[in-house]
Amino acid sequence: MSEKFDVFDVACPYCGKTTFGVLLKPGTTHRVICPECKKATYVKVLEDLSVQVFREEEVCPDCHGTGYVECPKCGGDGFLVYTLDNGKVYRISEADTGWHGWYVIGCPQCGGSGSYRVSEFKEYFSEVLKKLENALESISKGSGRVKCKRCNGRGFLAGNLTI
């Protein structure tokens, strides 16, 4: 079943000579290049179907217009390791195969939950990574992304035109 979306016309904010037709799909950001002045324009369609128009120089340098950045807690993995040896939480890339008993947990900062006991004895890291496939069935993995603080999730920094 395919979805139908309306097309919305937006004039180039630089030269005003060209009109772009973009899909009015909630949650999308379109990047269009004006054939007349050759400059990029971003058109962000919000959930309420209002449209924001931004120039290239207004794009947030941290999130590159997406409104989201890599989760600082899990490093974008969406899950973490909790060890019983010292009670600390680590990124999976920091996992030490010498720990005696650890859990993979969904990263709570980017929306994950649940846990899975991976190991009770010392194992080689490659074997542990294989066990992660089972772990991911038992936990709710986080998205690995959080709202950008610099632009507050907007994706753009300054003056925009909301239509």
Closest CA to 75 of 91, 95, 94: 91
User: Which residue range(s) make up the domain with 140?
Assistant: 70-145
Alpha-carbon distance 4 to 112, whole Å? 32
Same domain, 103 and 140: yes
2 alpha-carbon distance from chain centroid: 25
φ and ψ at 10, to 5 degrees? -130, 130
Using CA of residue 48, residue 160, residue 146, residue 137, what is the dihedral sign?
positive
Residue 1 domain-assigned (yes or no): no
Interval 59-111: pLDDT, tens: 889 988 888 999 999 999 898 888 877 778 888 777 766 666 778 888 999 99
Q: Position 120: which residue type?
A: E
Same domain, 74 and 58: no
Residue 2 domain-assigned (yes or no): no
CATH number at residue 53: 2.20.28
Percent residues over pLDDT 70 in the chain? 80
3-state secondary structure of 76: coil
Interval 15-34: pLDDT, tens: 889 898 888 888 888 889 99
3-state secondary structure of 159: coil
Record the tokens describing residue 106, joined without a space. 């969904």
Cβ distance 115 to 109 under 8 Å? no
pTM: 0.65
Same domain, 57 and 99: no
Residue 28 domain-assigned (yes or no): yes
Same domain, 43 and 76: no
